Amino acid sequence: MTDTPTFQLDGEDIPCRPGQTVIQAAQAAGRYIPHLCWHPDYAPHGSCKLCLVKADGRSVAACTVEARPGMQVENRTPEIDDQRRRLLNMLFVEGNHFCPSCEKSGNCTLQATAYEMGMTNAHYDHFYPDRPVDASHPDVMLDFNRCIMCELCVRASRDEDGKNVFALAGRGMRSHLIVNSASGRLADTNFAATDRAASICPVGVILKKRVGFAVPIGRRAFDALPISAQMPPAPPAEDAP
């Protein structure tokens, strides 16, 4: 019997198969690599850069680089986590993230990742952008203030729901999430609260109406366990997109 190939993640042997990325192999082994835009159900996006690791001394995105036998990967080092904190800081100040008053608090991936990285303050000056809230849909509200441009809703709506309700518009600092309707309102699309896109947002942009705070803050997913202890296993390489 041939031994399963492995690479090293922070000095620990991690099994890997051909076609698996570093983050897929790590997740399958129950090892957490911080990330926001990556999702095991979709092709790598590579936009948030939070899954930055050092592979054989070179900085790479763990969601896009293939795991190779014998590779030496650094993940949770003080230097890399410091870079992640800087990225998280910029995400918090670029949008309007007021955690104590947010319905998503305790279930928010951005917030939970900040806790995991030991981020205790925003550090940079807040931008306080003027972004709209769209409450036109009967079942779902959109609060664009919290969008981190991960495009998970775009991919879910396009690839699973087959609706193309969302898109990103603009470039650079002007990049922003939009609704694909002539009016720009969610009510004027075929979006439904049962769509995958309705439940995939990692922050508090897409919120279902009439269920706010049904689970009290303090009893939510990341209130109970840190995000690093809750990562589900990644799909096998042959099944991953």
Angle 145-207-233 from CA coordinates, rounded to 5°: 100
Domain match, 18 and 57 both = yes
CB distance 15 to 5 below 8 Å: yes
Give the pLDDT score at 62: 98
Domain match, 123 and 213 both = yes
What value does the CA radius of gyration of the chain take, rounded to a whole number of Å?
A: 19
Domain match, 121 and 203 both = yes
Q: pLDDT 10s per residue in the chain (241 long)?
A: 358 899 999 999 999 999 999 999 999 999 999 999 999 999 998 889 999 999 999 999 999 999 999 999 999 999 999 999 999 999 999 999 999 989 999 999 999 999 999 998 878 999 999 899 999 999 999 999 999 999 999 999 999 999 999 999 998 878 999 999 999 999 999 999 999 999 999 999 999 999 989 999 999 999 999 999 986 654 444 444 3
Domain that holds residue 114: 102-224
Domain match, 109 and 70 both = no
Give the pLDDT score at 120: 84
One-letter-per-residue 3-state SS of 181-204: CCCCCHHHCCCCCCCHHHCCCCCC
Domain match, 67 and 169 both = no
Domain match, 68 and 119 both = no
Amino acid at residue number 121: N
Domain match, 109 and 198 both = yes
Domain match, 123 and 219 both = yes
Q: In this structure, what token pair is assigned to residue 98?
A: 């007021």
The CATH number covering residue 18 comes to 3.10.20.740
Domain count along the chain: 2
Give the pLDDT score at 241: 37
Give the pLDDT score at 2: 54
Q: Give a yes or no: residue 155 inside a domain.
A: yes
> CA–CA distance from 87 to each of 80, 100, 112, 114, 162 (Å)?
11, 21, 14, 10, 32
Domain match, 72 and 129 both = no
Give the pLDDT score at 171: 87
Rounded distance between C-alpha atoms, residue 118 and residue 111, angstroms: 11
- Cα-Cα-Cα-Cα torsion 35, 36, 39, 45, nearest 10 degrees, comes to -100
Domain match, 62 and 106 both = no
Backbone phi, psi, residue 8, to 5°: -105, 130
What phi-psi label fits residue 36: left (phi over 0), alpha (psi between -120 and 50 degrees) or beta? alpha
